[in-house]
Structure 1
Amino acid sequence: MNTDVGPRLGVWQQTWRLTVAVVVSLPIWLSTLVLMRNQTGSPGTWTLVADPLVALGCLAVLLGRRRWPLTVALTVVIASSVSALATGAALLAMCSLSARRRPVEIGAVVVAYVTASQLAVDVYPLEQPPEVWWWAQFAAPALTAGIAVAAGMAVGARRVEVRSLRERAESAEREQYARAAQARTLERNRIAREMHDVLAHRISLVAMQAGVLDHRGGDLAADERRVLVRGIAEGSHQALEELREVLGVLRADPGRPEPPQPSLDRVPDLVADARASGLDVTLTDTVSGAPPGGVGRTCYRIVQEALTNAAKHAPGAVVRVTLAGAADGTLDIGVRNGPAPLRTAPPPASGFGLLGLGERIALAGGELDHRPTPEGGYVLTARLPWPDGPAHSYEKSA
């Protein structure tokens, strides 16, 4: 049940509630004046002076009903037994207390109100018709108290509903903000991963060729130097073209389909580009069939990242790439490079290559392992699940 006393009321809200209490009490007080005048000839000083003063005091006490609801309610309902003009204040106090929806408090105040109403017989000695039964004297105040309690319970239920709707709206707004923040984070990660995959490989090959040219420039023939310079120029040009493609995809209309991503059939081209840039790379492909698009793309990115790292950290080393697997089994990828024969300063490392690769493989349900070898090289192995499903065919090339 709701135990909140509710927010503080403003001046206007307090004013109209107290005005309603006075309007409800006024007919009762006037009726009492008329009956006493008819039966006793004079309403008396108490009814004309003390009764309104007690009612005014009850209205003043009602201003603190939100802070001390039970105390105020008991005070007002007991005081209403000696003031007909305070009846509306007593009903308002019971209604406000009932909005808290505490049965024990409500029951105590209702009993106090019905009991105190019997004391009004001594304050206003009016003659009762002989046909009025004794239980009717209890039924009338109990009925009015029940109406006030029912109204208060309805108000309390409405407050709970409004509070629940407000909390749900605030919770939905927080969830929407969290989803938007998560979407922005995922989009930034996707952009960073694509930029790394596209640029790191090309730039690493360019850096490797530039390192070879700087380290062995005096020992190379003119034709060899021209080959390296041409490779640097072509690699830089290809890096810019691939960067333009990535930016075009990111800026494109969301409704437009994205261009096809490289898959397993592009691995031979990847190896050929690395070989043309100066890496001693060999590819051993014993894959039977063609894996699904997601598995093939992940395989391509694994080989690309491994060759990129080999070019950055072991320029001129011998690199062996092996692919093996079949449908309804696994696709095994292995990239091993020997120690670097050239000692050149590697380009700055981003630190996100293997991390992003691990995320890709984890999403695909595979396993990744990478470690240095005893002879000073490095080995990277990955295993991807290959479900038996539709796939795109490709032709192997040396």
Structure 2
Amino acid sequence: MNTDVAARLGGWQQAWRLAAAAALGIPFWFSIAVVLPPGCVADTCSWFVTGDPLIAVGCLAALLWRRRFPFTVALTIAVVSAASALATGAALLALCSLATRRRPVEIGIVVLAYVTAAQFAAELYPIRTLPAPIWLQVALPALSAGIAVATGVAIDARRAEVRSLRDRADSAEREQAARAAQAQAMERNRIAREMHDVLAHRISLVAMQAGVLDHRGDLAAEENRTLIRGIADGSRQALEELRDVLGVLRADPDRPEPPQPTLDRIPELVADARSSGLDVTLTTTVTGTPPETVGRTGYRVVQEGLTNAAKHAPAADVHISVAGKPGDGLHISIRNSPAAAATTRPPASGFGLLGLAERITLAGGSLDHHPTPDHGYVLAAQLPWPRHDHGKSA
């Protein structure tokens, strides 16, 4: 459809340019007619009403090939137009079209041929006027040729400017699309990392519960049922979270981002850990609501600490301390007591603490983790909480 439209537009442009060339030659033709002697047309000036228009029609027809053979067509019409006043418009259009190529040698040859041929045009008709100075006979055709050349050069400059603007617009559009795609990919990856932390925590709890069932033969029936329900619920939630991760990576850009947890969801983490068999103690002394980034990062610190405790020390006591206020920062500590390592551990990616350290660094905080003298382990994080923040809620 676009090709058909372009072809129709090209045909209309060709037609109106030929019509303009024909119309431009009419004033030159009439300027000859008004100075011819009375009765000349029917007698000695029959060429004026027969040959002159026929040559003009031939020149207009030759213009159809001016884009394929620009120099040849322009030179031919410039020479032939000396025998036809009506073909002057065609000669000027051919010269204008040639000038759009910006080749000085070709333009100079055609201009010279046009000006030279114009000196012989007056010999075709018995015009009775005072002889004009030679400079005027040269200046008039040279002026008209100069106007045609200047018009052609201006047209080409305008075309080049339009092409440049179009290229810049296309380039800007491509760059904008690339930036948008990159931003979408980065956002999807960020969301996937957030959900990966949740999934890793969930699977660690399931693995810990399964390990308890495997190594504890002295549990009561109700305790066994509780652990089995916990494994079933945790597995189901893990599958749902995995589906969410895959959905984010597969990527509808218009898909809304799932809500991200903050400090107010830490009690839920502790409750899940307790239901899985961990002995967790939580102490919270937080005044106000921290910024969204700080709250979300603090939640991830507690989540990673509980995940590592479930993996490496499932029978240990875990003590969580969360304290902070505006201007003093947010301080989080997860400490587990010494405990025998689990006989069977779930596979670990090895990037949990590395990713957490990167997250905290981006938030402007610091992370410390190391064994304690009593063979336990501590994970501590400090996050900035500006005093001027007005407690933007997550």
TM-score range relative to shorter protein: 0.5 to 0.7
1:329·1:385 contact (CA, 8 Å) conserved in 2? yes
- In the TM superposition, residue 265 of structure 1 has moved relative to its aligned partner by 5.0
How many pairs were matched up?
A: 372
CA 263–121 in structure 1, closer or farther in 2 if over 3 Å, else same: closer
What's the counterpart of residue 278 of structure 1? Answer: 277
In structure 1, runs of 5+ residues without a counterpart are 1-6, 394-398
- In the TM superposition, residue 277 of structure 1 has moved relative to its aligned partner by 2.2
What's the C-alpha RMSD, in Å, of the aligned pairs? 5.3
| Cα distance in structure 2, aligned partners of 1:351 and 1:20 | 78
CA displacement 1:338-371 (0-9 Å, x = unmatched): 7862222526x68886676466435423456779
Which residue, 31, 37, 40 being the options, matches 1:38? 40
What's the counterpart of residue 388 of structure 2? Answer: 389
CA displacement 1:93-145 (0-9 Å, x = unmatched): 12223445x49569736852663254325753655622744443234324433
CA displacement 1:197-239 (0-9 Å, x = unmatched): 544433431331122112x1424344643553454466568x4
CA 326–117 in structure 1, closer or farther in 2 if over 3 Å, else same: same
Whether 1:307 aligns to 2:306 is yes
Structure 2: which amino acid aligns with 1:344?
T
In structure 2, runs of 5+ residues without a counterpart are 1-6, 249-253
| Cα distance in structure 1, aligned partners of 2:59 and 2:339 | 95
CA 234–70 in structure 1, closer or farther in 2 if over 3 Å, else same: same
Deviates more, 1:264-273 or 1:38-47: 38-47
What's the counterpart of residue 21 of structure 1? Answer: 21
What's the counterpart of residue 3 of structure 2? Answer: none
| Cα distance in structure 1, aligned partners of 2:359 and 2:85 | 81
What's the counterpart of residue 298 of structure 1? Answer: 297
Task: Tell me the TM-score normalized by structure 2.
Answer: 0.66
1:320·1:335 contact (CA, 8 Å) conserved in 2? yes
CA 86–273 in structure 1, closer or farther in 2 if over 3 Å, else same: same
CA 62–280 in structure 1, closer or farther in 2 if over 3 Å, else same: same
Identity of aligned residues (%): 59
What's the counterpart of residue 208 of structure 1? Answer: 208
CA 27–334 in structure 1, closer or farther in 2 if over 3 Å, else same: same
1:328·1:386 contact (CA, 8 Å) conserved in 2? yes
CA 293–30 in structure 1, closer or farther in 2 if over 3 Å, else same: closer
Equivalences for residues 1-398 of structure 1 within 5 A = 10=10, 13-25=13-25, 28=28, 35=36, 38=40, 42-43=44-45, 58-59=59-60, 62-67=63-68, 69=70, 72-100=73-101, 102=102, 104=104, 108=108, 111-112=111-112, 115-121=115-121, 123-124=123-124, 126-127=126-127, 129-130=129-130, 132-149=132-149, 151-153=151-153, 155-156=155-156, 159-160=159-160, 162-163=162-163, 166-167=166-167, 170-171=170-171, 173-174=173-174, 177-178=177-178, 181-182=181-182, 184-185=184-185, 188-189=188-189, 191-193=191-193, 195-214=195-214, 216-222=215-221, 224-229=223-228, 231-232=230-231, 239=237, 262-264=261-263, 266-267=265-266, 270-271=269-270, 273-281=272-280, 291-312=290-311, 315-316=314-315, 319=318, 321=320, 327-328=326-327, 331-333=330-332, 335=334, 341-344=341-344, 346=346, 357=356, 360-361=359-360, 363-367=362-366, 382-390=381-389
- In the TM superposition, residue 304 of structure 1 has moved relative to its aligned partner by 1.0
- In the TM superposition, residue 321 of structure 1 has moved relative to its aligned partner by 4.7
